[in-house]
Amino acid sequence: MGMNRTPLIAGNWKMNLDHLQAVALVQKLHWSLKDAKHDGDTVDVTLFPPFTDLRSVQTLIDADKIPFGLGAQDVSVHDSGAYTGEVSGAFLSKLNCGSVIIGHSERREYHAETDEIVAAKVAAALKHGLVPVICVGETSEDLEKFGASAVPVSQLETALDGVAADAEIVVAYEPVWAIGSGQAATPEQAQEVCRKLRDVVRAKLGDDAADSTRVLYGGSVKSGNIATFMREPDIDGALVGGGSLKVDEFSSIIRFQKHVGV
Ligand code: PGA
C-alpha cells in the first residue's frame, strides 16, 4: 500500500442482487461498519452494482449519508443515440456515479471487448467525469506462454493511449485464472505485476500520475488474504467479486487495517 494513496476497496457485484436486495445489502454493510466503529476516512469503499440497482443505491447513500462511492460495471463508447441496450456515461454521471469498471475479463471474454474498445470506453468515462477502473490480466494460457506481466502490461499501454497526464484513473490487476476460482495470486506475484503496471502509468502519464494512481489486485480476495496483499508497496486496494456479496465478509475486507500484522 503506497504511503500517500488512500486504499480503495471496490465491490464488483457482477450480475447479482436486484434493486431490493441491493438496498438491503448496502444498509446492512453500513450498519456492520458502524458497529465495528470503522473509520471511513482511512479507506475508500466503492460499490459497483448492476445498472438497474444504481438509482436505488444512489438514493439510499445520499439520503443516509453513507460514505460509499458508487460506480457502474460498464459504459458505452457513445454519448447517446441509436445503440439499443447501451448506457451512456452521461447518464451514470447524472446518477452521481463517480467511477466505472472498464475491460473486466468477463466483458473481454463474453462481449469480445478488445484493447481498442477498452481504450474508447476509458475515453468515454473520462469525458463524462467518471474515473475508469481499468481491468487488465492474463489468462492461464498467457501465463504459461508469456509469463504474468506481458499481457496486462500491453493491455494497459493500449488503454492509456490518449489519456491526459492529469486524468484520475484506477488500475485493477486481475489474473483471469484467479477470478472466482478460490485461488488468488500470491502477494509477491501480484506485487510484481502491479509494480510493472505502475511503471506503465509512469511511462505514459508521468511521475505524478504514477505516484497517485491506485493499483488494485483482484481475484479471489477474501478477509483471510486481504491483509497480505495490502502489505505490498504497489497494491493500493482490491477489486472484490464474490466476497463483496456477503456483508460480514466484505465488512471484514474493508477493515483489513485491523487484521493482524498490518
Ligand atoms: P472474485 O472476482 O473476487 O469473485 O474472484 C473478482 C472480479 O472479477 O472482479
Q: For the segment 61-70, what is each residue's pLDDT rounded down to a tens digit?
A: 999 999 999 9
Confidence bin at 1 (pLDDT 50/70/90): confident
List the grid coordinates of 124: 468515454
pLDDT tens-digit series, residues 4-31: 899 999 999 999 999 999 999 999 999 9
pLDDT tens-digit series, residues 90-121: 999 999 999 999 999 999 999 999 999 999 99
- Secondary structure element (H or E) that encloses residue 247, with its range: helix 247-254
pLDDT tens-digit series, residues 40-50: 779 999 999 99
Read off the pTM.
0.97
Q: What is the pLDDT of residue 172?
A: 98
Q: What is the pLDDT of residue 203?
A: 98
The CA distance from 59 to 55, in Å, is: 6
Q: Which of 3.40.50.700, 2.70.98.10, 3.20.20.70, 3.30.56.10 would CATH assign to domain 8-258?
A: 3.20.20.70
Q: What is the pLDDT of residue 243?
A: 98
Ligand 1 pocket test, pick from 174, 229, 246 with the greatest ligand atom count within 8 Å of Cβ, gives 174
| Distance from the first to the final alpha carbon of the chain | 10
Ligand 1 pocket test, pick from 179, 183, 229, 249 with the greatest ligand atom count within 8 Å of Cβ, gives 179
The CA distance from 190 to 176, in Å, is: 12
Q: What is the pLDDT of residue 36?
A: 87
Task: Give the residue whose CA is nearest to atom 3 of ligand 1.
Answer: 241
Would you list the domain boundaries of the chain? 8-258
